[in-house]
Amino acid sequence: MDTPEATRGGEPVIELRQVSAELGARPVLRGIDLRVGRREVVALLGANGSGKSTAIRTIVGQVPVTGGEIRLFGTPRRRFRQWSRVGYVPQRTTASSGVPATVTEVVSAGRLARTRFGPLRRADREAVHHALEQVGMAQHAGDPVEALSGGQHQRVLIARALAAEPELLIMDEPMAGVDLASQEVLARTLRAQVGAGSSVLLVLHELGPLEPLIDRAVVLRDGCVLHDGPPPEAVGQHALPGHDHVHPHDPAPRPLRSGLLS
Ligand SMILES: Nc1ncnc2c1ncn2[C@@H]1O[C@H](COP(=O)(O)OP(=O)(O)OP(=O)(O)O)[C@@H](O)[C@H]1O
Is 189 a residue whose pLDDT tops 70? yes
121 within some domain: no
Q: Which of 29, 30, 52 to mutate to test the pocket of ligand 1 (most atoms within 8 A of CB)?
A: 52
CA of 22 from ligand 1 middle (Å) equals 10
Higher confidence at residue 183 or residue 33?
A: 33
**Whole-number pLDDT of residue 134:** 92
Measured in degrees and rounded to the nearest 5, phi and psi for residue 3 equal: -75, 130
Q: Please state, in angstroms and as integers, the Cα–Cα distance from residue 132 to each residue in 159, 174, 209, following that order.
A: 6, 16, 21
Higher confidence at residue 56 or residue 248?
A: 56
Q: Which of 19, 28, 58 to mutate to test the pocket of ligand 1 (most atoms within 8 A of CB)?
A: 28
CA of 43 from ligand 1 middle (Å) equals 18
56 within some domain: yes
Residue-wise pLDDT for 57-111, tens only, equals: 999 999 999 999 999 999 999 999 998 899 999 887 654 566 778 999 999 988 8
The contacts of residue 187 (CB under 8 Å, 6+ apart) are 209, 210, 213
Higher confidence at residue 28 or residue 240?
A: 28
User: Identity (one letter) of the amino acid at 89?
Assistant: V
Residue bearing the CA closest to ligand 1, atom 9: 23
d(CA 72, CA 14): 5
110 within some domain: no
Ligand 1 near 90 CB (within 6 A)? no
Query: How many domains would you assign to the chain?
Result: 1
**Whole-number pLDDT of residue 1:** 39
**Whole-number pLDDT of residue 112:** 84
130 within some domain: no
Ligand 1 near 258 CB (within 6 A)? no
What value does the mean pLDDT of the chain take? 83
Q: How many other CB atoms are there within 10 angstroms of residue 199's CB atom?
A: 25
Domain region containing 67:
5-94+167-261
Q: Which of 22, 26, 245 to mutate to test the pocket of ligand 1 (most atoms within 8 A of CB)?
A: 26
Q: Residue 2's pLDDT band (boundaries 50, 70, 90)?
A: very low
Percent of the chain scored above 70 by pLDDT? 81
For ligand 1, what atom is nearest to the CA of residue 223?
14
d(CA 129, CA 170): 21
The contacts of residue 184 (CB under 8 Å, 6+ apart) are 209
151 within some domain: no
131 within some domain: no
Q: Residue 221's pLDDT band (boundaries 50, 70, 90)?
A: very high
- pTM to 2 decimal places: 0.84
Identify the CATH number of the domain in which residue 13 sits.
3.40.50.300
